[in-house]
Amino acid sequence: MGVVLEPGNGRVLKRRQLLTLLALTGAAGCGSASSAETPAAQAGGGTPPPAPPSASPGATARLGSAMTVTSSAPAPSASVSTVASSGLGGAVQAPADRVMLGSYLALGGRSLQQSLALRRRQLGREQRIVHRFYPWDGYVPTSEPEVARSSVLMVSWHGAPYAGILDGGSDGNIRSVARKLKGMKRPILLRWGWEMNGDWFEWGGAQNGQSAASYVKVWRRLHRIFAEQGADNVSWVWSPNWNSSPGDSWNRVQGYYPGDDYVDWVGISGYNFFNETPSTLFDPVTDRFGGKKPIILSETAAVQGKAKWIKQLQSWVEKTPAVGAVVWFDTDIQEGTDNNFRFDTDSAALAAYRAMARSPRFSG
- Run of H or E including 192: strand 188-192
Q: Which of 144, 146, 276, 299 is flagged as catalytic? A: 299
362, 84 in Cβ contact below 8 A?
no
What gap in Å lies between CA 342 and CA 24, rounded to an integer? 15
Phi–psi pair at 100, nearest 5 degrees: -85, 125
First to last CA, the chain: 26
Is 195 among the catalytic positions?
Answer: yes
Q: What per-residue string of b and e applies to 162-177 under the rule 16 or more CB within 10 Å gives b?
A: beebeeeebeebbeeb
294, 255 in Cβ contact below 8 A?
no
Q: How far is CA 119 from CA 26, 126, 130, 212, 213, in A?
A: 19, 8, 12, 39, 41
If one counts every other C-beta atom within 10 angstroms of the C-beta of residue 132, the result is: 23
39, 21 in Cβ contact below 8 A?
no
Q: Which of 195, 202, 276, 335 is flagged as catalytic? A: 195
Closest CA to 198 of 305, 57, 81, 331: 57
Q: What angle, rounded to 10 degrees, do the helices at 306-318 and 278-289 form?
A: 30
Instruction: Print the SS3 string covering 71-137.
Output: CCCCCCCCCCCCHHHCCCCCCCCCCCCCCEEEEEEECCCCCHHHHHHHHHHHHCCCCCEEEEEECCC
Sign of CA dihedral 212, 160, 327, 308: negative
Residues marked active site are found at 195, 299
